[in-house]
Amino acid sequence: MSDSSEIAEVEDNYASALEVSRQTLKQIRNTESSVHPTRENKTKITDQIAHLKHKDPASPKIMTLEQELVRAEAENLVAEAQLTNITRQKLKEAYTQQINAIIERSEKQAILAKHARRLLELLDDSPVVPGADRPAYDNERAAKEVLLDAEEDLGRWEPSQESYQPSTRLESNLLPAVEDGERNGEETNHKEGINADSGAYNYDPKVVEAAT
């Protein structure tokens, strides 16, 4: 295998790693798309309440809408938290993948460049006089050894950097793991008036599905 084919393989591996990084970033976009319905629902209910208060301040439907708004705000609060968590996690993961790919590419290119220079040193560039024949190339064995050394060095290459490990503090629902009894008064009173059945701290399965 020639140095040029080794370089092509390095470039192919680099391109593949960048594609993996792009796919990781797409998970952020997919998660953000799933959050839009909760935002739109909250905005819609808020507009309905404002419209009724202007048109018919005494309408009993206002109280019902306000209760719906509390639930919508709770759902959106969780969805936004999930989006923030997945955005930071996947952004760090994607760019770690990209940086690792750059490091791998550069280190392997340096290996190949070193051996390519050895190949160049085997090339006779001494001038010849007009009409004289240039001596036959007699470094085939040495050139093959250089290529074998290049393959061996590439085969021994190992990443010096550690792979990115996502935070273990997130549950599968993209929210922080909380031990029983650790919820404090600030959390439980974050939304006064939210009934336990309103789903204030539940998660939207659509968001989790989009993230995975």
pLDDT tens digits for 146-163? 999 999 999 999 887 666
Q: Domain with 68 in it: what CATH number?
A: 1.20.1270.60
First to last CA, the chain: 40
pLDDT tens digits for 115-151? 999 999 999 888 988 988 888 889 999 999 999 999 9
Q: Which residue has the higher pLDDT, 173 or 131?
A: 131
Q: How many domains does one find in the chain?
A: 1
CB-based contacts of 13, cutoff 8 Å, min separation 6: 101, 104, 105
Q: What was the pLDDT predicted at 33?
A: 86
Residue 33: inside a domain:
yes
Residue 141: inside a domain:
no
Query: What pTM, to 2 d.p., does this model score?
Result: 0.66
Q: Please report where in the chains the tokens 């793991």 appear, as a residue.
A: 177
37-55: average pLDDT: 93
Residue 130: inside a domain:
no
Residue 139: inside a domain:
no
Residue 101: inside a domain:
yes
Residue 82: inside a domain:
yes
Determine the structural domain holding residue 47 and report its residue range: 3-122+147-154+164-176+197-211
Q: What percent of the chain has pLDDT over 70?
A: 75
pLDDT tens digits for 180-190? 445 454 444 44
Q: Which residue has the higher pLDDT, 168 or 90?
A: 90
Confidence of residue 206 (pLDDT cuts 50, 70, 90): low
| Distance between CA atoms of residues 28 and 195, nearest Å | 31
Residue 182: inside a domain:
no
Contact 84, 212 (CB under 8 A): no
Residue 111: inside a domain:
yes
